[in-house]
Amino acid sequence: MSLIEVTGLNHRYGERAILENINLSVDRGEVFALIGPTGAGKTTLLRIIDLLEIPGAGEIYFDGKCIPRSGKQRLEIRRRMSFIHQKPQVFNLNVYDNVACGLIWRGEEKNNIAGKVDHILEMVGLKGYENRTARTLSGGEAQRVALARSLVLEPEVLLLDEPTANLDPVSTANIEQLISYVARQRNTTMIMATHDMSQGQQLADRIGVLLDGRLVQTGNATDIFRSPQNEEVAHFVGMENIIEGVIITNNEGIATVNIGGNAIQAVSNYPAGREVYACIRPEDITLALSSTQSSARNSFQAKVTQATSLGPLSRVEINCGFRLVALVTKISAEELNLQVGREVYATFKATGVHIMEKES
């Protein structure tokens, strides 16, 4: 049964609609990632779920019960959750008092508090910091205090708003490890907002794409990244190749798509005549100097129009009658000598092409 359910949620600030008709349900023990660009409404949605804000319209159910819009029950429910804000706000107290405050507010017995705080500080790697003034900590340390302060409460639901934005890669990795440890060990339900898609992919059981206040698509990582529902989602999840075309024939699930005079083959159930987008992830395209024999159904002769180094990978733009972007390892880029003007063969499988219907 779902632990948190949001139905028909609408919210606006003045004239501006922030959230539109959000319907979402998260099961107990599930890790749900909300991905979307900055300003999509992720924070507002989390704030409404944490009962910090009252939505303009819509209902929130917690553990099957509809939450009233005012009254004491909101505090009781809120105490079963904990929210880690994007910018960690530590109180101007020492680290121990920061971590202990939620327990004190819940009327926890004094004898228990010391043990719990001690344990959690050990877990986040801040043992020995008890008497440090929290304001003097670095960003990564402050985020760990914020995490400890929430985790010590052993909440049923943990809400995380961009928990690693503004952190360096090492601190980010630490926080991510902690989050996945808690999710596994304590079976804590989590809703996490992030604009970092790999983070969502890595940590979440299920992902929701929030664009412009609308929950456009929910599903597991494969669904979202391989089969985006529309052009917006495709763009956001890094489908660099989104090409317009028309289906010419469909032969038992293998469609031939006309793309500006070139025919590509893709797995799709849309019938002939349908206007579609063909999406190909850049890492699914292989480049070679000769047309190799392979099971891949699509092979095109092409010319390199641009090559950019991205550290261990190279991003190569090619023209094969239509524009494609491919990602290859740096080593193969060097071996193939992929410079502008170089002739190559681009190959990709029919299963590597995701067909979306063009929205009218």
Residue among 5, 30, 50, 317 that touches other proteins (CB under 8 A): 50
| Stretch of 71-79, 174-182, 240-248, 320-328 lying at the interface with other proteins (CB under 8 A) | 71-79
Q: Which CB, 102 or 219, lies closer to other proteins?
A: 102
How many residues of this chain interact with other proteins, rule: CB under 8 A? 24
63 is an interface residue for other proteins by CB under 8 A? no
- Identified binder of other proteins from the candidate list 60, 124, 153, 328, rule CB under 8 A: 153
Burial class (CB in 10 A: 0-12, 13-18, 19+), 334: exposed
Residues 72-111: x/- map of binding to other proteins (CB under 8 A)? ---x--xx-xxx-x-x-x-xxx-------xx--xx-----
Q: Is 181 in the site for other proteins (CB under 8 A)?
A: no
Q: Which of 91, 181 has the CB closer to other proteins? A: 91
Taking the least distance from each CB to other proteins, the nearer of 3 and 279 is 3
Strand order in the sheet with 206-211: 81-84, 157-161, 189-194, 31-35, 206-211, 214-219
CB of 131 to other proteins, least distance (A): 17
Question: Sign of dihedral through CA atoms 109, 112, 118, 124?
Answer: negative
Q: Is 69 in the site for other proteins (CB under 8 A)?
A: no
Mask for 209-248, x = binds other proteins (CB under 8 A): ----------------------------------------
Question: What residues form DSSP beta bridges with 277?
Answer: 244, 356
The reply to whether 292 sits near other proteins by the rule CB under 8 A is no
Q: Which residue among 17, 52, 165, 313 contacts other proteins (CB under 8 A)?
A: 52
Residue 146 Cβ, how far from other proteins at the closest point, in Å? 8
Is residue 65 at the binding interface for other proteins, with CB under 8 A as the rule?
no
- Rg of the chain over Cα atoms, rounded to whole angstroms, equals 25
Residue placing its CB nearer to other proteins in the complex, 51 or 266: 51
Phi, psi of 231 (to 5 degrees): -60, -40
Using the rule CB under 8 A, is 5 a contact of other proteins? no
Q: Summarize as ranges the residues that interact with other proteins (CB under 8 A).
A: 47, 50, 52, 75, 78-79, 81-83, 85, 87, 89, 91-93, 101-102, 105-106, 146, 149-150, 153, 159
